[in-house]
Amino acid sequence: MKLLLILLTLIISTAAYANDDDIIRTDTNSTVTSDGSMTTDSTVTSNGSMETTIKSPPPSAISPQISGSNSDLCTVGVAGAVQTQILGISAGRTVRDMNCEKLKNAKVMYDMGMKVAAVSVMCQDERVFDAMLNAGTPCPKDGKVGDEARLAWEMEAVKEEIERDQNNVINKFFDENGEAKIGLGVIFSTLAFLLIL
Mean pLDDT lowest among 61-70, 71-80, 167-176, 180-189: 167-176
Q: In terms of pLDDT, which residue wins out, 91 or 52?
A: 91
Is the residue at 81 inside a domain? yes
Residue 83 pLDDT > 80: yes
State how far Cα 112 lies from the chain centre: 40
Asked if 34 and 6 sit in the same domain, the reply is yes
Is the residue at 19 inside a domain? yes
Is the residue at 53 inside a domain? no
Asked if 36 and 65 sit in the same domain, the reply is no
Beta pairing partners, 141: 144
Is the residue at 23 inside a domain? yes
Cα angle for residues 133, 134, 137 (degrees, 5° grid): 45
Q: What is the mean pLDDT of the segment spanning 85-95?
A: 82
Is the residue at 122 inside a domain? no
Is the residue at 68 inside a domain? yes
pLDDT value at residue 173? 60
Q: Give how many domains the chain has, as a whole number.
A: 2
Q: Give the domain extent around 77.
A: 60-96
Give residue-wise pLDDT tens across range 33-53: 767 677 777 776 767 676 777
pTM of the predicted model over 0.75 = no
Is the residue at 177 inside a domain? no
Residue 131 pLDDT > 80: yes
Give residue-wise pLDDT tens across range 139-177: 998 888 888 988 988 898 888 888 877 766 666 666 666
What span, in angstroms and rounded, lies between the C-alpha atoms of 106 and 128?
13
Asked if 6 and 39 sit in the same domain, the reply is yes
Q: Which of 132, 139, 143 has its CA nearest to residue 153?
A: 139
pLDDT level of residue 18 (50, 70, 90 thresholds) = very low
Asked if 9 and 39 sit in the same domain, the reply is yes
Is the residue at 116 inside a domain? no
pLDDT value at residue 43? 74
